[in-house]
């Protein structure tokens, strides 16, 4: 096994790289068809950062053939270099891309199931919710009309056409059977056992057309073998409250009385009982508390379940990356993933891969005052308590080496941080968080004693670095709103997105 003690001679990512990434993110939404040097550099950096700790396979998405708002090369970690843990499901005999092609339209905006995190041999996947007939049939019609040579799918065009044309034959399965069965196949390939749905509505209807659905309410119960976890979480519109409440998440409360909010909380008792809260009052929680308790459910699942987990919301590019990003940063701070990366590198990785390359539309979110990206990092000081520490069940992982990767962080833009009880503690402006790059050796007792302190320092260092870079590029949102065009009404915005989705 490769030794990681002296692998690095210099840092790959600097603070300027993060600032440039944010500047690029506010100028354009990522599009896999758009080939330019900036996107190529971002994707190259992401691959290098991943490959420091993982052996990866790649799913080709050149020109957005699978999804326009997915990276041109989708990473699939298969071996953790630190623990030598690998997934038993991904073998050379499995054509993952072929499965992706067949299941592509099964989910909203072609945002199919893909792995994004790998821990203890399990995948944490992301996607959008299921498509319904209002989206499937227009996309299917376009696929049949578009010249197969332009799409350059891995399998011949005739095979793709036949896969769908024969739906008209009585003896064949319906289009929903084919697509959703392919979606189930892809979930099984990645060994997913549970599906976390963050939507606040059971289905999405526009002009009387059912556009999306969810696994729990599939009429033919095709997803019956998966454990369903329903965690209704506010959409991007709610995060206008970030600026309105002067960046204090404890004053942010979602209006659950709105008619569209018909989704109910549904958490298996063996997971809910492991979180110290009263779930009956979930609608009364502020957004910080909601995030904390949902986040604990995800951690407890990773600790107790043998199979992986899929996390999705409606489109999979706002609420989904919020929780994916928090998981990546928290598990990194615990020393279980991306052990080689510094604070700058892990921040760059999550901003680039979890947000930008998977289509988060920052150019649209900011004019509407929807700072869900900023809120994600605003939550980090609230996740430093003992209840947010991941306890691995994998006994093969090497715990004798504690990797504390990071920076000497002396830019502290705020005079306060928060402990796990959400009370303020003062931090001097010139405070320094020292997190060294090179691994330090501890015995088992020393490891446990230092683990919590190091975790807190790492998360706070990420928070302050992000704040500094974000405010370098993006002013306070109230200024942006006052100087910019008035926000588009929600219904008009939904119509606009629907039209753009059809064109893509």
Task: Give the range among 164-178, 213-227, 460-474 with minimum mean pLDDT.
Answer: 164-178
Copy the structure tokens of residue 289: 């508390």
What is the model's pLDDT at position 490? Answer: 54
91 or 208, greater pLDDT = 91
Q: Decide if 486 is inside a domain.
A: no
- How much is the pLDDT for 214? 87
Average pLDDT value for residue range 270-274:
97
- pTM of the prediction? 0.83
Q: Which residues of 427-443 are buried (b: 16+ CB within 10 A; e: fewer)?
A: eeeeeebebebebeebe
The pLDDT confidence band at residue 85, using thresholds 50, 70 and 90, is: confident
Residue 471 phi, psi (nearest 5):
-75, -20
Indicate whether 413 pLDDT > 80: no
The answer to whether position 432 is within a domain reads: no
Is 107 within 8 Å of 80 (Cβ atoms)? no
The answer to whether 227 and 193 have CB atoms below 8 angstroms apart is yes
Please give the backbone phi and psi of residue 425, each rounded to the nearest 5 degrees, phi first: -130, 140
Residue 446 confidence (pLDDT):
54
Domain coverage including residue 465: 15-392+450-481
**List of residues 6+ apart from 12 with CB closer than 8 A:** 45, 48, 49, 345
DSSP per residue, 311-350: EE-SSSSSHHHHHHHHHHHHHHHTTSS-TT--HHHHHHHI
Q: Which residues contact 208 (CB under 8 A, 6 or more apart)?
A: none
Tell me, yes or no, whether 492 lies in a domain.
no
Q: Is residue 195 part of a domain?
A: yes
* Beta carbons of 272 and 229 less than 8 angstroms apart: no
Residue 139 confidence class, pLDDT cut points 50, 70, 90: low
Q: What is the pLDDT of residue 449?
A: 62
Q: What is the pLDDT of residues 109-118, one digit of tens each?
A: 999 999 999 9
- How confident is the model over 416-455, as pLDDT tens digits? 344 434 333 333 333 333 343 434 444 445 556 688 899 9
User: Is the pLDDT at 322 greater than 90, yes or no?
Assistant: yes
- Give pLDDT tens digits for 345-404: 999 999 999 999 999 999 999 999 999 999 999 999 999 999 999 998 775 554 433 344
Percent of the chain with pLDDT over 70: 72
In percent, the amount of the chain with pLDDT more than 90 equals 62
Question: Does position 7 have pLDDT exceeding 50, yes or no?
Answer: no
Region 474-479: what's the mean pLDDT?
67
What does the pLDDT read at residue 495? 47
What is the reported pLDDT for 400? Answer: 33
Is residue 45 in some structural domain? yes
Per-residue pLDDT for 405 more than 90? no
- Residue 117 host element (H or E): strand 114-119
Residue 56 appears among annotated catalytic residues: no
Instruction: Calculate the CA 16 to chain-centre distance.
Output: 24
The Cβ-side half-sphere exposure at 67, using a 13 Å CA radius, reads 30
User: Which pLDDT belongs to residue 175?
Assistant: 82
Question: Is 105 domain-assigned?
Answer: yes
Q: Tell me, what's the pLDDT at 395? A: 52
Q: Is the CB of residue 348 less than 8 Å from the CB of residue 43?
A: no
According to the model, what pLDDT value does residue 37 have? Answer: 94
SS3 for 74? strand
**92 against 123, higher pLDDT:** 123
pLDDT digits (tens, 9 = 90+) for 26-77: 999 999 998 899 999 999 999 999 999 999 999 999 999 999 999 999 999 9
Nearest to 94 by CA among 188, 198, 199, 212: 188
Residue 327 reports pLDDT greater than 70: yes
pLDDT score, position 165: 32
In-domain check, residue 319: yes
Say if 503 falls within a structural domain. Answer: no
Instruction: Please pick, among 313, 409, 424, 440, the residue that the annotation labels catalytic.
Output: 313
Question: Tell me, what's the pLDDT at 33?
Answer: 92
Query: Other C-beta atoms within 10 Å of 115: how many?
Result: 26
| Count of structural domains within the chain | 1
Q: What is the residue-averaged pLDDT of the chain? A: 80
């Amino acid at each position: 096994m490769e030794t990681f003690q002296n692998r690095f001679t210099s840092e790959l990512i600097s603070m300027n790289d993060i600032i440039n990434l944010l500047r690029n993110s506010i100028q354009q939404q990522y599009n896999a068809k758009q080939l330019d040097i900036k996107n190529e550099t971002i994707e190259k950096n992401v691959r290098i950062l991943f490959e420091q700790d993982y052996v990866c396979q790649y799913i080709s998405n050149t020109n957005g053939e699978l999804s326009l708002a997915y990276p041109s090369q989708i990473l699939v970690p298969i071996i953790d270099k630190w623990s030598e843990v690998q997934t038993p499901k991904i073998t050379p005999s499995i054509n993952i891309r072929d499965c992706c092609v067949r299941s592509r339209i099964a989910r909203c905006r072609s945002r199919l199931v893909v792995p994004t995190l790998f821990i203890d041999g399990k995948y944490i996947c992301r996607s959008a919710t299921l498509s319904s007939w209002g989206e499937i049939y227009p996309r299917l019609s376009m696929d049949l009309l578009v010249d197969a040579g332009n799409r350059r799918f891995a399998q011949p065009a005739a095979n793709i056409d036949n896969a769908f044309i024969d739906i008209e034959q009585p003896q064949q399965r319906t289009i929903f059977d084919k697509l959703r069965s392919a979606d189930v196949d892809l979930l099984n390939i990645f060994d997913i056992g549970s599906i976390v749905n963050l939507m606040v509505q059971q289905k999405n209807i526009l002009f009387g057309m059912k556009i999306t659905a969810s696994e729990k309410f599939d009429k033919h119960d095709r997803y019956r073998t998966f454990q369903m976890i329903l965690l209704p979480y506010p959409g991007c519109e709610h995060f206008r409250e970030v600026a309105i409440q002067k960046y204090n998440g404890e004053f942010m409360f979602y209006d659950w009385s709105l008619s569209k909010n018909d989704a109910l909380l549904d958490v298996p008792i063996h997971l809910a009982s492991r979180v110290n809260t009263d779930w009956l009052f979930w609608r009364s929680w502020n957004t910080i508390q909601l995030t904390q308790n949902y986040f604990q459910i995800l951690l407890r699942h990773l600790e107790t379940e043998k199979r992986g987990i899929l996390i999705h919301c409606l489109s999979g590019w706002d609420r989904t990356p919020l929780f994916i990003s928090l998981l990546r940063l928290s598990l990194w701070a615990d020393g279980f993933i991306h052990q080689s990366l510094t604070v700058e590198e892990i921040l760059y990785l999550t901003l680039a891969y979890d947000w930008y390359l998977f289509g988060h539309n920052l150019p649209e979110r900011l004019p509407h005052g929807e700072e869900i990206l900023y809120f994600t990092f605003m939550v980090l000081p609230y996740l430093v308590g003992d209840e947010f520490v991941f306890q691995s069940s994998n006994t093969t992982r090497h715990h004798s080496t504690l990797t504390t990767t990071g920076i000497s962080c002396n830019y502290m833009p705020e005079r306060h941080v928060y402990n796990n009880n959400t009370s303020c503690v003062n931090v001097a402006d010139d405070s320094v968080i020292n997190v060294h790059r090179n691994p330090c050796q501890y015995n088992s007792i020393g490891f446990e004693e230092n683990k919590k302190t190091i975790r807190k320092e790492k998360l706070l260092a990420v928070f302050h670095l992000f704040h500094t870079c974000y405010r370098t590029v993006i002013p306070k949102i109230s200024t942006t709103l006052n100087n910019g065009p008035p926000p588009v009404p929600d219904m008009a915005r939904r119509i606009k997105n629907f039209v753009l989705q059809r064109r893509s």
